[in-house]
Amino acid sequence: MSEAALDYLILGANGQVGRELARAMQPFGRGLVLGRQECDLAEPGAVAATVSRHAPGVVINATAYTAVDRAESEPALARRINTEAVAELAAVCAERDIPLVHYSTDYVFAGEGDKAYRPDDATAPVSVYGRTKREGEQAIMKSGAKALVLRTSWVYAAHGHNFVKTMLRLANERDQLRIIADQIGAPTWAATIADVTALALHGWRRAGWSEQMAGIYHLTASGETSWHGFAEAIFEEAIAHGLLDPARRPTTEAIASSDYPQPAPRPHNSRLDTASLSSTFGVVLPPWREALSHCIRALAG
């Protein structure tokens, strides 16, 4: 297979979303999925060289610096990966007229109020992670590249490090857990993100990579809950699917964010309005609890 014949290139092979994209994008054509060893965004020039060498039909960037708390003490590295490398990627995609898909986050918002943020609402990130992700978005928008920027939230999967895996581990280690209840959002399965991305890309390609369809969208499961509510649902699903002995289910105490201080502030309101994504690409976002059940079932084998 010649490199020029690639229909798509996925960056971030080992991440939660990247691994699901490798599955979901297979019907799209010939693809290549690269991890950090093959393309390290921390290395200046690496991503531009990779895109130039492979000349894919579309690039999907599922790589990011996501260590939210560590970013507070590693701002230069977070900015290198989330902003500078993204700017390089957008520039080469614009130069070669290659459509780009990039993932962003609810952390670009201040997290105030109780209404779901729309894609065009004012951003006001309050953490290094949020600021660097927003700067990455801005770099894409300024580059002239035809791009979809998909903001998501509370991502989990059957693999990798995430809240679901942590809760299942802690359920077998502790009798009681204290879990934050004043942060509200939509837990979003990585498989949902990948499947919706693939559907959107099929529609965008059929429309000739229309610039009118490009822009910033929100991609999360439907519905909302707190981290405490999410944990309770995880335990219920784990018991239902035989992953957790009911006798081992820990009791949970709902606490405030102030009771669990962290280096990076978290948004209290992580609700994201997905209406424009659904209307533009004709996709339906599944309820978060339904997607969680599918994930737990996959973990149970």
156, with CB counted inside 10 A (0-12, 13-18, 19+), is buried
The pLDDT of residue 123: 98
Residue 301 confidence class, pLDDT cut points 50, 70, 90: confident
Active site residues: 129
Given a cut of 90, whether residue 1 has pLDDT beyond it is no
Query: pTM (2 decimals)?
Result: 0.96
Q: 248 versus 3: which is more confidently predicted?
A: 248
Q: What is the pLDDT of residues 183-198, one digit of tens each?
A: 999 999 999 999 999 9
pLDDT surpasses 70 at 2 = no
- CATH code given to domain 3-157+187-221+273-285: 3.40.50.720
Q: How confident is the model at residue 3 (pLDDT cuts 50, 70, 90)?
A: very low
Q: What is the mean pLDDT of residues 254-272?
A: 96
Q: 288: which residues sit within 8 A by CB, 6+ positions away? A: 186, 187, 188, 220, 221, 222, 223, 224, 225
Q: Structural domain boundaries of the chain?
A: 3-157+187-221+273-285
